[in-house]
Amino acid sequence: MFKEERLLKIINKINSDKGVNKGITIKELSEAFNVSPSTIRRDLTELEKAGVVKRTHGGAILVEQIGNEYDFSSKQGKYVNEKKSIAKYAASLVEDGEIIALNSSTLTYLMAAELDAKNLSIITNSVGVVNQLSDKTDYSIIVLGGIYLHSAKTIEGTTTVEQISKMHFDKVFLGANGVDLKLGLSTAGSIEASSKQAMVEYGNEIYFLCESTKFDKASFYKIADFNQVNAIITDDKLTDEQFEVYNKYTKIVRV
């Protein structure tokens, strides 16, 4: 088993067996995955650095505040009007016959419902996006393989990144947890960062969908520099001052 796949399975196990703020021991994880306690300690240290778990004596807990970064359901109901405006504008950028990639986020989930272009090829690691597009019979939908992360309703891991590296996209649409002048576009964990970085690398045009609340914030792992991005689409609550500052580095679209 690849390390990234084991990390995802550790998150899923803590979430399903214990839940948020409930502890699991190194011994339990070592036995569950048939690896040494020292390997589990290294895994938990990496997950703590990624902001997913908090180390405890002899184990770890999934922290609610950080766990919510991976929790698709908990994020869906926030800033609904702003998200719908962003999603609708992003969908309008897609043209007939294009090959597009939609990474897993609440904004790309909403964007999928707004797509009106014909004969699209859509590559995604989001189960939510697949569900949104289930009735679009003229679309070719490619679901990336890997490990299913239950709380985020996303597929991640080494296999996911390897598949992306063999593809090319006309346009890529992604979410981010932070937009910051020093770090650029960032996300909460190394696991999801890997698939997003790969999509950026193999896309012709790159668009980030971010609520204004994500600006002036840096998350744990960098996804992309501003010069790799065609535009950041955000809501009209982004201040004029923020717009002027960030628009110097990449195109900012307020909707």
Calpha distance 196→200 (Å, rounded):
6
Going by pLDDT thresholds of 50, 70 and 90, the confidence category of residue 50 is: low
Is the pLDDT at 132 greater than 70, yes or no? yes
pLDDT at 145: 92
Regarding whether 220 and 125 lie in a shared domain, the answer is yes
Going by pLDDT thresholds of 50, 70 and 90, the confidence category of residue 66 is: very low
- pLDDT, tens only, 81-102: 889 999 999 999 999 999 999 9
pLDDT at 120: 98
- pLDDT, tens only, 219-232: 888 999 999 999 99
Residue type, 60: A
Going by pLDDT thresholds of 50, 70 and 90, the confidence category of residue 72 is: very low
Regarding whether 94 and 47 lie in a shared domain, the answer is no
Q: What CATH number is given to the structural domain containing 9?
A: 1.10.10.10
How many structural domains does the chain have?
2
Contacts of 157 (CB under 8 A, 6+ apart): 2, 4, 5, 8, 146, 147, 191
Residue 55 or residue 169, greater confidence: 169
Regarding whether 122 and 16 lie in a shared domain, the answer is no
Give the residue from 52, 67, 82 where a domain finishes: 67
Regarding whether 86 and 20 lie in a shared domain, the answer is no
Average pLDDT rounded to a whole number, residues 63-80? 50
CA–CA distance from 64 to each of 71, 131, 186 (Å)?
10, 27, 20
pLDDT at 53: 81
Is the pLDDT at 131 greater than 90, yes or no? yes
Give the residue from 49, 67, 85 where a domain finishes: 67
Regarding whether 117 and 58 lie in a shared domain, the answer is no
Regarding whether 145 and 193 lie in a shared domain, the answer is yes
- pLDDT, tens only, 194-220: 999 999 999 999 999 999 999 999 988
Regarding whether 138 and 49 lie in a shared domain, the answer is no
Residue 227 or residue 68, greater confidence: 227
- pLDDT, tens only, 161-194: 999 999 999 999 999 999 999 999 999 877 889 9
pLDDT at 70: 46
- pLDDT, tens only, 12-49: 788 776 555 568 999 999 999 999 999 999 999 888 77
pLDDT at 67: 40
Contacts of 110 (CB under 8 A, 6+ apart): 83, 84, 86, 87
CA–CA distance from 204 to each of 69, 138, 189, 237 (Å)?
28, 23, 25, 29
* 57-61, 110-114, 186-190, range with the lowest pLDDT: 186-190
Regarding whether 95 and 199 lie in a shared domain, the answer is yes
Regarding whether 199 and 84 lie in a shared domain, the answer is yes
pLDDT at 188: 81
Give the residue from 51, 67, 83 where a domain finishes: 67
Domain that holds residue 227: 73-254
Regarding whether 151 and 103 lie in a shared domain, the answer is yes
pLDDT at 17: 66
Regarding whether 104 and 62 lie in a shared domain, the answer is no
Regarding whether 200 and 167 lie in a shared domain, the answer is yes
pLDDT at 26: 95
